Each structure stands twice: as structure tokens, then as C-alpha cells.
Amino acid sequence: MKKIINLAVVAVFLVATLAACSSKTVKVDESMNGQTITVKKGQTIVVSLAGNPTTGFNWATEDLDTSILSQQGDVAFKADSNLIGAGGMVTLTFETVGTGTTNLILNYARSWETGVEPAQTFAVTIVVE
């Protein structure tokens, strides 16, 4: 009987731990452009957008409010195929480090081109509780 109770306690603990881990990451994609996303302080926001860095274009933040969001690591790219010059998904990761409301604006542009409008802009409003 004691073994069953111990196993039940362990099972409940594992389920609670897994549930907490999965809710820590919020996935954002192109379909959420223009929307408001509410998250908690300490959560991770992973933004995945179509792109092709081989063309010189890449996604970059515009006026990131670092008191609320902190970009984690470099921009990552995963090609859709093994073909040279193939497009794919660009991923940016942010951690919520403070509470408040901010706009997360990403521009798809060539970093060396100044005075040129971005080819695309992606924006979401982030509310961190």
C-alpha cells in the first residue's frame, strides 16, 4: 500500500512539473501579427517567421524594451531543404524580465541598407503580468 501511495505522489509531481515546463514557452508565428499576447514574468517567447538570410535579409528587433524583454541568443535559421539558398524559418527567442506592456517589432531588412524601408514588419503587443 505504501508503494502505491509513493508512486501516486511521484506521478502527480511529474505531471505538475511537465505542465509547468510546457507553459513556460509561448510560441508566436506570422498568424499572430498585430495581436496582443499576455504572458507572465519569467516566460520565454519564441517567435518563428519565414525568412531567407542567404538573400541578405534577416529579422531584427526595433527599439526593444530591454526592461521587459531580453533577447536570448542569436537569431536562428532552419532551412526548408538542403538546396543552396533555400528559405526556411527564422527563430528569435525572448525572455520576459519585467512587467508591463511593450511592442515587439521585428523588421525584415538588410542590415547594411540605411534609409530603406524594411521588406516586412511583424509586430505584437506583449503584456507581461
Looking at residue 84, its amino acid is I
- In tens, the pLDDT along 42-99 reads 999 999 999 999 999 999 999 999 999 999 999 999 999 999 999 999 999 999 999 9
**Is 40 within the bounds of a domain?**
yes
**Is 19 within the bounds of a domain?**
no
Answer yes or no: is pLDDT of 5 > 80.
Answer: no
pLDDT, position 9:
42
**Is 88 within the bounds of a domain?**
yes
Helix, strand or coil for residue 66?
Answer: coil
User: Residue 64 maps to which CATH number?
Assistant: 2.60.40.2020
8 Å CB contact between 87 and 51: yes
Judging by beta carbons within 10 Å of its beta carbon (0-12, 13-18, 19+), is residue 35 exposed, middle or buried?
A: exposed
Residue 78's domain comprises 25-128
pTM value is 0.79
Answer yes or no: is pLDDT of 39 > 90.
Answer: yes
pLDDT, position 4:
53
pLDDT, position 75:
95
**Is 118 within the bounds of a domain?**
yes
Confidence of residue 3 (pLDDT cuts 50, 70, 90): low
**Is 31 within the bounds of a domain?**
yes
**Is 3 within the bounds of a domain?**
no
